[in-house]
Structure 1
Amino acid sequence: RRYIIFSDFIITWNNLSTMGSMMTIMFIFMFLYSIIELINSKRKIIFKIKTNNNEWKNNSPILSHTNKETMFMFNK
């Protein structure tokens, strides 16, 4: 059986990598918690969308094609 003996330089980078992976896992859990908290809290929206786009006003795509562009006639 072989035992790998790392130099101090490699052990330092190994510890740094381990700490980075632990921080990444912690931030993933914090992100998931914040997403779940946002879904469950159901807070009111503090701003209104001021746009003329009907998809934003109705919160869904328009079922019928009523927003057709005006037709242009080109004469040659």
Structure 2
Amino acid sequence: IYSDFILLWNNISTMGSLTTIMFIFMFIYTIIETLNSKRKNIFMIKSNNNEWKNNTPLLSHTNKEMTFMFKK
């Protein structure tokens, strides 16, 4: 069906498609394995920002407000 010149490029593109599919499966496996593993974190983020001290987002979604509480 193909001439010799077109057959070469067809085989090259087929190999490229197969390697792309293989790396997509490897990437999906890596993501699933990362989510399922119970390993310790190697890097710990230590920051003085208020964003990292709270486990949830601030209600106002901004850090421009002061976070002091006053007693009357």
Class of the TM-score when normalised by the shorter of the 2 chains: 0.7 to 0.9
CA drift of 1:58 comes to 2.9
Instruction: Give the percent of matched residue pairs that are identical in Structure 1 and Structure 2.
Output: 76
Per-residue deviation, residues 4-47 of structure 1 (Å, max 9, x unmatched): x3221110000010011011111000000000000000222112
Q: Structure with the greater relative contact order (CA < 8 A, sep ≥ 6): 1 or 2? A: 2
Contact 1:55 1:61 in 2 (8 A): yes
Measured on the aligned residues, the alpha-carbon RMSD in Å equals 2.3
Residues 1:23 and 2:19 are matched in the alignment: yes
Counterpart in 2 of 1:49? 45
Evaluate the alpha carbon distance shift between residue 6 and residue 66 of structure 1 in structure 2; reply closer, same or farther with a 3 A threshold.
closer
Evaluate the alpha carbon distance shift between residue 66 and residue 31 of structure 1 in structure 2; reply closer, same or farther with a 3 A threshold.
closer
User: Can you give the 5+ residue segments of structure 2 that lack an aligned partner in the other structure?
Assistant: 67-72
Give the length in aligned residue pairs: 66
Counterpart in 2 of 1:11? 7
User: What TM-score, normalized to structure 1?
Assistant: 0.69
